[in-house]
Amino acid sequence: MKRLQQLFEGSAAIAEDNLGFLEDLYERFLRDPDSVDSSWRDKFRSIQDAAPELSGPRPPLPRDDDGSEIEATLRKQAAVDQLIYHYRTRGHQVADNNPLRLNPPTILKDLDPAYYGLTAQDLDRHFYVDILHHSRRLPLREILALLRQTYCESIGAEYMHIVDSDIKHWIQTRLENTRGRAFPEPESQTSLLRALTAAEGIERYLHRKYVGQKRFSLEGAESLIPLLDEVIERGSEQGVRELVIGMAHRGRLNVLINVLGKKPSSLFQEFEGTAANLPLASAGDVKYHMGFSSDILTRSGPVHVALAFNPSHLEIIDPVVEGSVRARQDRQAGNAENTVMAVLIHGDAAFAGQGVVMETLNMAETRAYTTGGTIHIVVNNQIGFTTSNPFDARSTLYCTDVANMVQAPVFHVNGDDPEAVLFVTRLAVDYRMRFNRDVVIDLICYRRHGHNEADEPAVTQPAMYRFIRQQPTVRRLYAERLIRAGVISAAQEKAMETDYQSALARDDIVSRPLIDAEGRFPKPSWTAYQNQLWTTPYDARMPLQKLKELAGRMLRLPTNFSLHPRAAAIVEGRRAMARGEQPMDWGFAENLAYASLLDGGHTIRFSGQDVGRGTFFHRHAILYDQNTGATCIPLQHLENAAPFRIYDSLLSEEGVLGFEYGYATSAPETLVIWEAQFGDFANNAQVVIDQFIASGESKWGRLCGLTLLLPHGYEGQGPEHSSARIERYLQLCAEQNMQVCIPTTPAQIYHLLRRQILRPYRRPLIVMTPKSLLRHKLAVSTLTELAEGTFRNIIGEIDPHDPAGISRAIVCAGKIYYDLLEARRKSGLSHIAILRVEQLYPFPDEAFTEVLSRYGNLKELVWCQEEPENQGAWHQIKHRFFGHLENRIALVYAGRPMCPAPAVGQFHRHLEEQKQLVQDALYGPAASHS
């Protein structure tokens, strides 16, 4: 005490009752000057400078038993500080935010004042606090009340794990200044009740009218509807003009009617089985997978809201929505991150259990995939998916704990307290718009029925459903609360319910008002791409001189840019190719395809693992200065060209491919490409391929021009680095839903990539790209082939053999062609023609007929492939040949025998098998074994 009095002698800055506070502050200053506010730091230093003898180590405080109260006071203050800290850190664990209240209250010693030595006598004692907008000194009783109201009632806030102090301080201020309360005006309270009336009303209407039909109702989680309504309104106030929602099936019909403004009659027709499929959708889908979009009027203007189509693979919609949002942002100028926003609605078990959630979260802060923050809403019905106990569904305390990996704040809120839901919604939207980062609302609720309305949940959850069946609905609870408060009368509450049911009966739109906002949002038009055929002609020409000019421009580097010697040799080789001094290789032709499209005004987006350099060291679209580490992307610096966006992706296939699919469905004028590091790795994204890429048009009428580059070819690298699983893609092919191609020359990849964007045809393109062919001496092309050619679906015999002497024709696809060609030339077998199928689907029947018609003396048609017989294209393509073969012509298979694995693991065995299948193709199985 005397030491502080000495320090502040003659200073008006101190009063007697501040000495305890200053003692603690000065102690912290002595330990670490940067730990105190700069104003106090300067004050302490100035006093030390004036009294140097006081700047040394502080002598120990007197002990309590010596009669001093200083240490006891400091201990009490430190105890209060610890108590405040633990309420902020762990208060969410004891929050009253579970509407079911099935378990006894959690007790934490960290939140017990007695644990820190505080007693009943301390309750009326004043302590210093850092709770903003409050007196600097408060009685402990008031401090505890404030902390419990803020952190332990209907909202449990997790934010102290965030590293950024500014973000933590911002959240803390928003929570503690208001004690976690929204304080809505009576008008807002009435609007809340009206939204809950709508949420409950549509479910009751459907339950009554369509008995026994599955609808995956929202009952028990009705607060989701006012939550989404507030997201739209609050976002609009802050500049959001487009909002894309992704959600699974629970509550989807409710959202369609009450948020997006779908006509009730349209939904009723789907229940009755009389609704027509969407245009282009040949198969259609169930009602609770369907998407929708509308222009919704808010107080701040129109907002375009889109609900993405979603399969039953639940969380797989997450990256698709993010990709769609990024495409919409890229179309806009200015602060696009804050004009287009993603909202993802999750189930509790799915959020914790499905790996694509983690992949999507991991993309949130990366250059290639950021969308400026996503609002995640977990509809937490506390039962997992069908019958599971929550603790069989995860190993974490909360279903939301995976979000901690991106330091997202999580607000666990009681779904039966609509005003608390309103508060966290406003907080979440404001957080996202201010910091452009992900935020999570954990809407703790329940499921009034089973997994679907025909299920009986009490079989596996008897205690929970005894409680639920006695639990009033959230609407009833809130209506009674407003009636008690005099905000509305019982008659008004009843009229609200009746009015909603009458509106449904009249087929009125029951959401916020919808408007025709045509032209207000930069939307792409898909009209030009509908009802087109893969044979639609297009202009593929590019003048030779123009190609040479582009080749020169795409090889320009900054002055003094130091390349790695291997990269420098490749660039020099490409300059020679551009001059026509040597044949061009794959990498040069591929990059030239991009340059020609960019020069023509077509934007390109390209992502995947190692795509900048290329896994097999062939692309070098991104170059690196060996001295500075700086990058150069020449294709981004073509004068007057469209944007070229290329990104080396994170180590994800499912999440990244889902993102690129979503992007492509919102950007028809952009060539969107995803490349797998090896074609086999697309296995990790099979859900995206099956549920979106192959069937999105058939189910939902969604066109998409996404291109997949999948390195494929048997070079003895083992089972997981050989096959891109051609058979899987071909098995999914029908109704011209996608294209599967295996180009074998640089000119072919050049024309194939250009064709994908130049034709008015937008369907996925699956390309089996090469590995060893990237530098094969025979796999070369000329500039003339690029300038004057086009993509050839079938390439016939290239050697000058007499067609009349051909008795055997080998049909193949991909790298095996060159093995067959070299072996035939070496053996001088002039009676064999080798034909390449460059497009396996849609199969080019006319071109194949024309090629075969040249060989009037054909006796055998051999399909040769590298893959095992039960894999590859054989079983998916052989029926294509039957209509082209006369009875005298035998159809023969040559390839590896059946095998469960795609390839063998031993290199010498691979060589033996490769040699054998080439011999079988050239001489026949019997001859080759004799």
Mean pLDDT of 774-803: 95
User: Hey, what are 846's tokens?
Assistant: 């006319």
pLDDT confidence bin for 821, thresholds 50/70/90: very high
Mean pLDDT of 184-193: 95
Q: Which amino acid is at 515?
A: I
Phi, psi torsion values for 85, nearest 5 degrees: -60, -45
Position 627 pLDDT exceeds 80: yes
Q: Which amino acid is at 349?
A: A
pLDDT digits (tens, 9 = 90+) for 847-867: 999 999 999 999 999 999 999
Q: What is the pLDDT of residue 746?
A: 97
Whole-angstrom distance, CA of residue 710 vs CA of residue 139:
68
Q: Which amino acid is at 592?
A: L
In sequence order, the β-bridge partners of residue 808 are 832, 860
Average the pLDDT over each of 448-452, 579-583, 673-677 and give the range with the smallest value. 448-452
Position 227 pLDDT exceeds 60: yes
Query: Between these two residues, 26 and 366, which has the higher pLDDT value?
Result: 366
Position 277 pLDDT exceeds 90: no
Look at the block and give the residue holding tokens 């060209």. 641
Whole-angstrom distance, CA of residue 196 vs CA of residue 174:
26
- Those residues whose C-beta lies under 8 Å from the C-beta of residue 743, and which sit 6 or more positions away, are 749, 752, 767, 769, 791, 838
Mean pLDDT of 444-450: 89
Query: Between these two residues, 603 and 334, which has the higher pLDDT value?
Result: 603
What region does 531 belong to: left with phi over 0, alpha with psi -120 to 50, or beta?
A: left
User: Hey, what are 166's tokens?
Assistant: 């500014």
Cα–Cα distances (Å) from 816 to 90, 256, 777, 809, 903, in that order, read 63, 52, 14, 14, 15
The answer to whether 691 and 844 have CB atoms below 8 angstroms apart is: no
Position 7 pLDDT exceeds 60: no
Q: What is the pLDDT of residue 278?
A: 87
Whole-angstrom distance, CA of residue 265 vs CA of residue 570:
63
Position 69 pLDDT exceeds 60: yes
Cα–Cα distances (Å) from 167 to 133, 172, 176, 420, 435, in that order, read 18, 8, 14, 21, 8
Mean pLDDT of 149-171: 96
Q: Which amino acid is at 380?
A: N
- Those residues whose C-beta lies under 8 Å from the C-beta of residue 470, and which sit 6 or more positions away, are none
What region does 73 belong to: left with phi over 0, alpha with psi -120 to 50, or beta?
A: alpha
Length of the chain: 930
* DSSP state string for 698-722: HHH------EEEEE---SS--TTSS
The answer to whether 670 and 704 have CB atoms below 8 angstroms apart is: no
pLDDT confidence bin for 455, thresholds 50/70/90: confident
Cβ of 568: how many Cβ atoms within 10 Å? 15
pLDDT confidence bin for 60, thresholds 50/70/90: very low
The answer to whether 370 and 380 have CB atoms below 8 angstroms apart is: no
Q: What is the pLDDT of residue 16?
A: 44
- Those residues whose C-beta lies under 8 Å from the C-beta of residue 606, and which sit 6 or more positions away, are 594, 621, 644, 645, 646, 647, 672, 673, 674, 675
Look at the block and give the residue holding tokens 């009125």. 508
Q: Taking each helix axis from N to C terminus, what angle separates 19-31 and 38-50, rounded to the nearest 10 degrees?
A: 90
Given the DSSP bridges, would you call strands 765-769 and 832-837 parallel, antiparallel or unpaired? Answer: unpaired
Predicted TM-score (pTM) of the model is: 0.90
pLDDT confidence bin for 133, thresholds 50/70/90: low
Percentage of the chain exceeding pLDDT 70: 91
Strand order in the sheet with 410-414: 155-158, 410-414, 439-444, 374-380, 340-347, 242-247, 301-307, 292-298
pLDDT digits (tens, 9 = 90+) for 636-657: 999 899 999 999 999 999 999 9
Per residue, the 3-state secondary structure of 101-128, as one string, reads CCCCCCCCHHHCHHHHCCCHHHCCCEEE
Position 325 pLDDT exceeds 50: yes
Mean pLDDT of 661-678: 97
Phi, psi torsion values for 645, nearest 5 degrees: -110, 115
Position 36 pLDDT exceeds 70: no
pLDDT digits (tens, 9 = 90+) for 883-913: 888 888 999 999 999 999 999 999 999 999 9
Whole-angstrom distance, CA of residue 576 vs CA of residue 563:
17
Whole-angstrom distance, CA of residue 561 vs CA of residue 624:
8
Give the chain's mean pLDDT: 90
Average the pLDDT over each of 360-364, 366-370, 513-517, 584-588 and give the range with the smallest value. 513-517
- Those residues whose C-beta lies under 8 Å from the C-beta of residue 274, and which sit 6 or more positions away, are none
Position 53 pLDDT exceeds 80: no
User: Hey, what are 648's tokens?
Assistant: 């080396």
Q: What is the pLDDT of residue 102?
A: 78
Residue ranges of alpha helices (H) inside 154-220 are: 165-178, 186-209
For the chain, how big is the Rg over CA atoms in Å?
34
